[in-house]
Amino acid sequence: MKCPKCGAWNTAYLPRCTRCGAPLEENTQKQQLSWEEAMHKKKPSLQVVQFDPEDDTPVVPASNGDEAFDPDELDRAALTDEMEALKARREEGSRRLAQMKDQAVRVRRSIQEAQVVRPVPEASDRPAYDGDGVVIRRRQQARQAQYAENLSDEATQPEEKGNAPDSYGYFGDPAETPLTYVDDEETDAPIYYDGYTPDSGDQGALTDEEYMPRRIQTRAAREDAYETLGTGKRKKNRAVRIVLTLCAVLLCCALVGAGGVLAARHFVLSQGIQVRRDNETNIVVSETTVDGMPAHTLTIYGKENATVYLREMQSTYVIADGKVEVTVPDYMWYDTESSTYATPVETDTMDVTITPFIRYSQEGDQYQLDPIEFTVDVPLSPIYLLKPTTMHAEVGVSIFEVSINVQKGSTVIIDGTNVSTLIRETGNVSKNVQVLPVGDNTISISVKSKYCRENKMEVTLYRAPQEIPLELDATVLVEWNYEPITNEKYEAATEEERAKMQRPSISGTTLPGATITVEFPHENLKVDPVTGSFSFTPLFSKLGNNDVVIRASYEGKADSVITHTVYYMPNADIYTRRAWDLDSQYTDLINYINIRKGTIYTGTGTVERIISSTPQMAIMNIGSETFEKLVMIENSSKTTWEVGTKYKIYGDAYGLYDNMPRLTVRYTYLAE
């Protein structure tokens, strides 16, 4: 409630202002505003207009006495003034609240920084100091007496004060001689500290000017009641409270200590159990093999039914009969094609670390054990260079066959071309590469075998620069599997027979006007002097590799020479028809091996043992159990031999090996 005289805000139930004592009449009656009554209590009326279809004049029913609300008749100026007044009142209230908060802060700061000053005795009849409580009570009574005197002055001079006499409450004995009164607004006035620190939001935090009489009366009554108690009783109550507080503190400390002891005991017991269980767990690593490949076996000893989890392998195992064995091939750690958790490496060895975790029960926690560490060997994909035989070779051909031996199922890339599908049963694979007359020609080879890391190799083929350019066509033949046909036989044949004939041909280009010479049995040499192209038909008589030498000559320039190798091997139908019986010709072949080189033989026998795998070489017995006839055979067929298996072979004589005939086998068949 706002005082109409001084403008101070008061509690709603007070009849008078706490600052100036003016009566608060608005508390008993509420002033009604004109705009509120006009807008909230007035009801609009309803008018119904009816129209006659034949009459254009509207029929308006009689009014029921309630006039409709007309916004045009509203006094908008008065409404604007009232809204401005409300706005000003709200701003004044905000300012007052900020002022009260600032006063509360100043009072709190003054209490904290106050100095206790003993009041000076005010009368000769009080020579001795009566205590803080008595002095405070007398000081309050003096202030109330001063307040009552001000009220009496207002009652005697109503025309000056404009206030009614104060009859609210009783504030002590006004007849008692008051204490010396000091205005609180004086900056040099002493500070009297009564030992009372009000709580936040308490009315005691107000200043002396805003201190309400009801609060003073209640506090004075409480101090009077407190003063009537004896000093001994107060001390006794204080001692009891101290003792109770101390007991409560000790009880809390005891409870906290007991809880800490229980928690520590539980932790120690759990750690002890874990240490005991971990001591029961033991891991042993041993080397073994899986399908002929190196591997490691992890033997984990531990508590029955405990669960072991290997993080790197992402697998879980249960201990049964006191242990669990886990066998892991070594290639699972480095071969990315065989394992999802493998890591590609380029070194000969790899350090493996496995982190095991153990769980002793389904509901229990999972504990980490000591890491398992061991080293595995990382094998390199095998590559056996067959042709050329060295990493650096000097050649005189434009098309050279690079041949290697690898494991079956390997991924082979030669000179940028994937030739994995061309791997034979023996593991041999080859590719014809172009060799330019520019010096060194580098041929790259890459092999990735199963369970091995990738192996890379570079072969350098040197071909001397030429003054006369001489090159063979890219499609020139490198292998001939048919019987060569001479010109006489070709000329004597009919047109139908010629269409079925297979005639080998070698073609190329050289400098126009150059002379081409072929240093190999051949027929039908043709040279075009304008374009420099040439072609001829070679006549093969030697089985296996045949070196065809081609020379180009030009006046004033050095000759250019190309040596082209062609592998001549007639098909099985032609080859097998030339074969001699090896069993009956065994002694004759040994005695006349130099004459019989290149002669084709056939025999049936059992493979006794394998001497070499690349190329595959074996000892075969074509005789009987009582009389052995051993033959050293080299496998150039598409069948891989196995020990103890009986085969029928076709091959040409090569020489002797430890007093045994040596044959190069071209075709192999299983014997019944």
Average pLDDT in the 131-137 region? 62
Higher pLDDT, 546 or 68: 546
pLDDT one-digit tens code per residue, 449-475: 988 888 999 999 998 888 898 888 878
Question: Residue 412: what pLDDT?
Answer: 94
β-bridge mates for residue 612, sequence order: 617
Question: Residue 341: what pLDDT?
Answer: 81
Per-residue pLDDT at 398 exceeds 70: yes
Question: Residue 486: what pLDDT?
Answer: 81
Residues near 161 by beta carbon (within 8 Å), at least 6 away in sequence: 153, 154, 155
User: How many other C-beta atoms are found inside a 10 Å radius of the C-beta of residue 556?
Assistant: 5
Higher pLDDT, 74 or 336: 336
Residue with tokens 């000769």: 124
Per-residue pLDDT at 554 exceeds 70: yes
Query: DSSP state, 646?
Result: E
491: its two tokens: 């000329």
Q: Are strands 399-405 and 470-472 parallel, antiparallel or unpaired?
A: unpaired
Q: In the chain, pLDDT over 70 holds for what percent of residues?
A: 72
pLDDT one-digit tens code per residue, 283-308: 899 999 888 889 999 999 988 888 89
Per-residue pLDDT at 644 exceeds 50: yes
Question: Residue 125: what pLDDT?
Answer: 46
Per-residue pLDDT at 537 exceeds 80: yes
Distance in angstroms (rounded) separating the CA atoms of residues 599 and 663: 10
Range of weakest confidence among 22-26, 38-42, 272-276, 553-557: 272-276
What letter represents residue 189's amino acid? A
Question: Quick one: angle between helices 213-228 and 132-156, nearest 10?
Answer: 140
Average pLDDT in the 635-652 region? 91
User: How many other C-beta atoms are found inside a 10 Å radius of the C-beta of residue 211?
Assistant: 17
Per-residue pLDDT at 275 exceeds 70: no
Per-residue pLDDT at 514 exceeds 90: yes
Q: Rg (Cα) of the chain, in Å, rounded?
A: 61
Question: Residue 135: what pLDDT?
Answer: 61
pLDDT one-digit tens code per residue, 582-631: 999 999 999 998 888 889 999 999 999 999 887 789 999 998 878 889 99
pLDDT one-digit tens code per residue, 88-130: 999 999 999 999 999 888 888 877 775 555 454 544 444 444 5
Per-residue pLDDT at 260 exceeds 90: no
3-state secondary structure 125-154: CCCCCCCHHHHHHHHHHHHHHHHHHHHHHH
pLDDT one-digit tens code per residue, 335-348: 888 888 888 888 88
What letter represents residue 370's amino acid? D
Query: At residue 502, what are phi and psi to the nearest 5 degrees?
Result: -110, 115
- Among 129-138, 211-220, 606-615, top mean pLDDT goes to 606-615
Per-residue pLDDT at 196 exceeds 50: no
* Cβ pair 650, 579 in contact under 8 A: yes
3-state secondary structure of 87: helix
Per-residue pLDDT at 392 exceeds 70: yes
Give the architecture-level CATH label for domain 281-377.
Answer: Single Sheet (2.20)
Under the banding of pLDDT at 50, 70 and 90, the label for residue 171 is: very low
Cα-to-chain-centroid distance, residue 392: 48
Distance in angstroms (rounded) separating the CA atoms of residues 581 and 448: 43
* Cβ pair 542, 553 in contact under 8 A: no
Distance in angstroms (rounded) separating the CA atoms of residues 583 and 590: 12
* Cβ pair 567, 540 in contact under 8 A: no
Range of weakest confidence among 27-36, 386-395, 495-504, 537-546: 27-36
Under the banding of pLDDT at 50, 70 and 90, the label for residue 414 is: very high
User: 471-568 adopts what CATH topology?
Assistant: Immunoglobulin-like (2.60.40)
User: 575-670 adopts what CATH topology?
Assistant: OB fold (Dihydrolipoamide Acetyltransferase, E2P) (2.40.50)
Domain boundaries, the chain: 32-98, 114-228, 281-377, 385-461, 471-568, 575-670
Average pLDDT in the 160-179 region? 43
Average pLDDT of the chain, as a whole number: 78
